[in-house]
Amino acid sequence: MANPDLYAVFGHPIRHSQSPTIHRLFADQTGQVLEYVARDVPAENFEASLRDYVASGGRGLNCTIPLKELAYGVADETSARATHCGAVNTLVLRKDGSLFGDNTDGIGLVRDLQQNLGIPLHNLDILLLGAGGAGRGILGPILACRPGQVFVANRTATRALDLVRQFDRQGKLAGGALEQLGGRCFDLVINATAASLTNDLPVLQDDILKPGGFCYDLAYASQPTAFVRWGKMHGASVSVDGIGMLVEQAAEAFRLWRGVLPETASVIDHLNQARSG
Ligand code: NAP
């Protein structure tokens, strides 16, 4: 039998990555013969590790924290969505040896919200918390769904304003510090800060979410994150973490590499059962 095609995720830290499990389930489901491994790669080792990986036959690569900007820098060509946010989470090794870079985070989030959770973004007023790499990656795909107004709030207000300047031709966008919200409330609050990773919560006023609104935390953990708990305590009709986004962004990467879009619902169920059991 031929050797399986090799794929990997690089990041630091990477110990708790679910990506090998997700891609094994996609491969089983679609009959693709591949191996997918997680490698701990700090930023300073990225280029050398990438060279070794390509030399050993790697066909495609996912990059996560803190490597997405570096991955953007090494790509020979990037998709429009990756070019716009300056970050790549998926590299495709083409037959001619060149590297194509894409960013599947935004489409992963939008598919989870709209298709899996049944939350159409059109006309919704959205508060986006955080203006780091993930915030930049998801803003374009969110605006493409023609929401109402999107307000980007960040601990460091200047970073939110930079993001607003970068994207303001694509939709109704404003931004600033969390304290500048001035009594406004939103249909959907998306937490794209890294606060959940340390079990923290961005500073939020109690009345920021419209009654029956939606809360979505990009972070995910074995237990509900502080933000997911906040949403449930403040009347959200849906308050979930980013496990669905993780699976959806992986499905889009799988499609880029293998030409087939896997089914995701059973994979999301599998991960949810694993963490509740
Ligand atoms: P990043 O580039 O390091 O940005 C971190 C952001 O969080 C910045 O806006 C930062 O504000 C803010 N922040 C950090 N700690 C905070 C705190 N205690 N209170 C308020 N704001 C805080 O990280 P990233 O790549 O954007 O990732 C953000 C989150 O998204 C992480 O939890 C990551 O795991 C998650 N993510 C999930 C998926 C998925 O598939 N589900 C995909 C990508 C990312 P300052 O600018 O003020 O520092």
CATH value at residue 239: 3.40.50.720
Which ligand 1 atom sits nearest the alpha carbon of residue 108?
40
- Cα end-to-end distance, the chain, whole Å: 36
User: CB count, 10 Å around CB of 76?
Assistant: 12
273: Cβ–Cβ under 8 A, 6 or more apart, which residues? Answer: none
How far, CA to CA in Å, does 88 sit from each of 2, 220, 224, 249?
Answer: 30, 20, 28, 12
Confidence tier at 230 by pLDDT (50, 70, 90): very high
Which ligand 1 atom sits nearest the alpha carbon of residue 66?
25
Catalytic residue list = 68
Which of 43, 72, 103 lies at the terminal end of a domain, its last residue? 103
Same structural domain for residues 11 and 136?
no
Rounded to the nearest angstrom, the distance between the alpha carbon of 241 and the centre of ligand 1 is: 13
**What is the per-residue pLDDT for 57?**
95
Does residue 142 form part of some domain? yes
**What is the per-residue pLDDT for 181?**
81
Does residue 250 form part of some domain? no
Which of 103, 122, 148 lies at the terminal end of a domain, its last residue? 103
CA 152 to chain centre: 16
Does residue 133 form part of some domain? yes
The tens digit of pLDDT for each residue in 104-150 reads 999 999 999 999 999 999 999 999 999 998 999 999 999 999 999 99
Same structural domain for residues 146 and 216?
yes
Same structural domain for residues 132 and 63?
no
63 by Cβ neighbours in 10 Å (0-12 / 13-18 / 19+) ranks as buried
Same structural domain for residues 77 and 133?
no
Q: Return the percent helix, strand and coil in the chain, to nearest 5.
A: 45, 20, 35
The tens digit of pLDDT for each residue in 147-182 reads 999 999 999 999 999 999 999 999 999 999 988 787
pTM higher than 0.85 for the full model? yes
Does residue 160 form part of some domain? yes
Same structural domain for residues 55 and 168?
no
Confidence tier at 234 by pLDDT (50, 70, 90): very high
Same structural domain for residues 83 and 111?
no
Same structural domain for residues 99 and 196?
no
How far, CA to CA in Å, does 130 sit from each of 112, 137, 232, 272?
Answer: 19, 11, 20, 26
As beta bridge partners, residue 7 has: 36, 60
The tens digit of pLDDT for each residue in 192-218 reads 999 988 989 998 999 999 999 999 999
User: What is d(CA 94, CA 257) in angstroms, rounded to the nearest whole number?
Assistant: 9
Does residue 259 form part of some domain? no
Q: How many domains does the chain have?
A: 2
Pocket around ligand 1 at a 6 A CB cut-off: 65, 105, 108, 130-135, 154-156, 159, 192-197, 200, 202, 218-220, 242, 245-246, 249
User: What is d(CA 190, CA 233) in angstroms, rounded to the nearest whole number?
Assistant: 16
Same structural domain for residues 71 and 120?
no
Does residue 257 form part of some domain? no
Same structural domain for residues 223 and 131?
yes
User: What is d(CA 35, CA 260) in angstroms, rounded to the nearest whole number?
Assistant: 16
Same structural domain for residues 117 and 224?
yes
Does residue 67 form part of some domain? yes
Question: Which CATH number fits the domain that encloses residue 9?
Answer: 3.40.50.10860
Same structural domain for residues 84 and 149?
no
Closest CA to 249 of 22, 35, 21, 10: 22
Which of 40, 72, 103 lies at the terminal end of a domain, its last residue? 103
Same structural domain for residues 99 and 124?
no
Closest CA to 109 of 143, 158, 69: 143
36 by Cβ neighbours in 10 Å (0-12 / 13-18 / 19+) ranks as buried
Does residue 191 form part of some domain? yes
What range defines the domain where residue 179 resides?
A: 106-243
